[in-house]
Structure 1
């Protein structure tokens, strides 16, 4: 530690400790050992713990979750007695359980899930997922900046967010959601979007494009006969988006990691 202090700061270790202005709360002992008072150590953890408590309280405001009586604390961070004390004091109306070897609980759960995926029956969506479409223009909803006249002489709005599933919605494993669309050209380009907003209006609002699903349609068939179905399949750690042409049965798939 003394060599590192000299190398990176140009100061001796004692000089460097004195410049921290912690007084007697942080002292050098034995030449290269630091003695740090508990209050200082707790302060290092306060910021992440405050965010953890805030996040848990936000979750408990959800009508589907507020009646949950017990919180199970797992992971290496959960083994800290200070973390446990803070959760018990800041969320007093919930029972807190810390299993033995809390740090291994997450790993054991992942191993069990690898052997039997049926142990998870549903997921609560972290994001709203959908695609970009053009809708008929509605002056009460759409901005004039999105307004245009289509080839049939009808007013439409571009870049509309067509929602397949919303944030905080509980989705059973292996749930499939399908919507039908009519192509505007012989190559359909379907960008897939996600956002933290529950009711997004446009895909140009704060959102993230996850990927693009491209389907080339047969040009020997009239475009009016080439309607297609877009399906979101929520099976596990991946979101699979499938585009299927009804007349030909041709399919294109796109796999996206939905837990990031």
Structure 2
């Protein structure tokens, strides 16, 4: 057999031994969420005693209450590299720059995490760009690494005040990512963490719904349905429950089965969408665009940026506290500058629909046929019925995903639905889930928004807690085999020092839908280098929706990553056989290669960046 010969830089080796894991005394988590981010940690001693996990409290200038997370906002200086501020501080700082008309040269990124969402075959590269709030662009890895560096350094500063002799090597870092992210997106997050200064052997990537599940399985009072008495921590072995992780950007769903008192296994492939809590904000913006027009709404953002920031912040606050059972209307401050921009529309000869409108009140009436919107000076009032419309798309999309994943279970019983993530605290979403699935107890833990963060700390302490996972795609490597005339396409025939070969063979390691143990290699295959003077071998890592692809060039087969191995010095590389195995059951794909002749073993995370 033969390896593909594409040129690619080797990925960083990441061989975490048990000794290294045992040497960690602090287990820390960074949750870089779409809307909100934060960090948490616990010492090994704390976790041994089941003590409290410390979560940083964040304070905004716009509210007197502290929160377990800060807003995911990165303000980057005009040089495009240096972080000016992050979180609530970045919002306040940018608002100040806007007031002073000094913001134009800065980069202000908000809700930028969704930029990594894509299809499993879509390539990512280190030059991938992100667009900021005002339309300016920077490399994605710069924004992500700057944000992770800020959170890591902020936490490390706190640790140094508590533990004087703490060193970076004492910490196990757990970085959380959505379960629906691709292998490429997970890898970019790892690369961002490395660029931020975190040590390679200290990083674990954890899936957000799995981290939340780990946390809620630990504490009785954390996740319990008060009506039915169902507690996640007391579910019997074999019980199955659905995890709905509804955050700001994504809605992740997976089904876990209790495997033991400490472990669970994933029994249905993760699914989800990008209609989290931010979809509610987008519906509000759609309402504003319908009133002004797309052109004038962008003008409002650009010219009256401070009023736009205040308006969206006001909506975010009202959205989070909205409870249609307890309020019949919602009041919001409405900036006078919005009317000014609208009046300029009315005088424009280009916008004929607006020309006929006599006032901003009339424009709202065109949208609101039921008299559910009232505009008076600098205040706008929505009825609860109308305000609920902003939530409809997100809730309907979440219900649709739940129905899809339940269908995959083919009639098996769910013990409960666990709702975690910031958007799961939304009363309307909770009501929609309970109404649609009345026979399944719904469990919403206390402080659902920080369940992922706290669970990630525990995940770092008990990394094998997810014992098995369902593989979403068929994975394999591209190689060559002996060419058989009539059986192989003539265009795939190549002549090598190892004979006449057929290239682009898909050597399967694991099949989509297969249940695999985490941390264990699924298949071991024997490879032989192609040329006598070869000093490196390179694999194309391929993924497919097909169960048994024959060639890596087949339809629905895609190269998603690559890995390189440097060979030991030898006169004839074709005599140097390699035993290669891949572990596809974890959150990252890990390759282990052994030279049969020398016994040399290399373990590496597959590189997914171009």
Q: Would the alpha carbon gap of residues 18 and 155 (structure 1) be closer, same or farther in structure 2, given more than 3 Å must change?
A: same
Residue-by-residue CA offset, 1:52-110 (whole Å, 9 max, x unaligned)? 22322232233488333321111111122221222233334433222222222222211
Matched, 1:98 2:444: yes
1:137 & 1:47 partners in 2: Cα distance?
54
- Equivalent residue for 2:578? 228
Q: Would the alpha carbon gap of residues 248 and 155 (structure 1) be closer, same or farther in structure 2, given more than 3 Å must change?
A: closer
- Equivalent residue for 2:412? 66
Match of 1:57 among 377, 399, 403: 403
Contact preservation (8 Å) 2:477, 2:541: yes
Matched, 1:238 2:572: no
- Equivalent residue for 1:114? 460
- Equivalent residue for 2:470? 124
Matched, 1:44 2:393: no
Unaligned runs of 5+ in 2: 1-334, 347-358
How far 1:221 sits from its partner (Å)?
Answer: 3.9
Match of 1:212 among 558, 562, 569: 562
Contact preservation (8 Å) 2:516, 2:585: no
- Equivalent residue for 2:336? 2
Unaligned runs of 5+ in 1: none
Q: Would the alpha carbon gap of residues 11 and 122 (structure 1) be closer, same or farther in structure 2, given more than 3 Å must change?
A: same
SS, match of residue 521 in structure 2: strand
How far 1:209 sits from its partner (Å)?
Answer: 3.3
- Of the structure 1 ranges 179-188 and 19-28, higher mean CA displacement relative to structure 2 is found in 19-28
Q: Would the alpha carbon gap of residues 42 and 154 (structure 1) be closer, same or farther in structure 2, given more than 3 Å must change?
A: farther
Q: How many correspondences in the alignment?
A: 256
**Greater share of residues in strand:** 1
Please report the TM-score for the alignment, with normalisation by the length of structure 1: 0.76
How far 1:228 sits from its partner (Å)?
Answer: 0.7
Residue-by-residue CA offset, 1:4-25 (whole Å, 9 max, x unaligned)? 5535884599358527622345
1:70 & 1:14 partners in 2: Cα distance?
48
Contact preservation (8 Å) 2:474, 2:546: yes
Contact preservation (8 Å) 1:181, 1:230: yes
**Greater share of residues in helix:** 2
Please report the TM-score for the alignment, with normalisation by the length of structure 2: 0.36
How far 1:222 sits from its partner (Å)?
Answer: 3.3
2:560 & 2:601 partners in 1: Cα distance?
19
- Equivalent residue for 2:541? 192
Q: Would the alpha carbon gap of residues 235 and 129 (structure 1) be closer, same or farther in structure 2, given more than 3 Å must change?
A: closer
Q: Considering only aligned residues, what root-mean-square deviation do their CA atoms show, in Å?
A: 3.7
1:230 & 1:246 partners in 2: Cα distance?
10
How far 1:195 sits from its partner (Å)?
Answer: 3.9
1:71 & 1:176 partners in 2: Cα distance?
32
1:36 & 1:145 partners in 2: Cα distance?
69
- Of the structure 1 ranges 144-153 and 196-205, higher mean CA displacement relative to structure 2 is found in 144-153
> Which of 1 and 2 has higher RCO (CA within 8 Å, sep 6+)?
2
- Equivalent residue for 2:605? 255
Q: Would the alpha carbon gap of residues 2 and 218 (structure 1) be closer, same or farther in structure 2, given more than 3 Å must change?
A: same
Matched, 1:168 2:488: no
Contact preservation (8 Å) 2:476, 2:543: yes
1:122 & 1:65 partners in 2: Cα distance?
21
Q: Would the alpha carbon gap of residues 220 and 255 (structure 1) be closer, same or farther in structure 2, given more than 3 Å must change?
A: closer
How far 1:253 sits from its partner (Å)?
Answer: 4.0
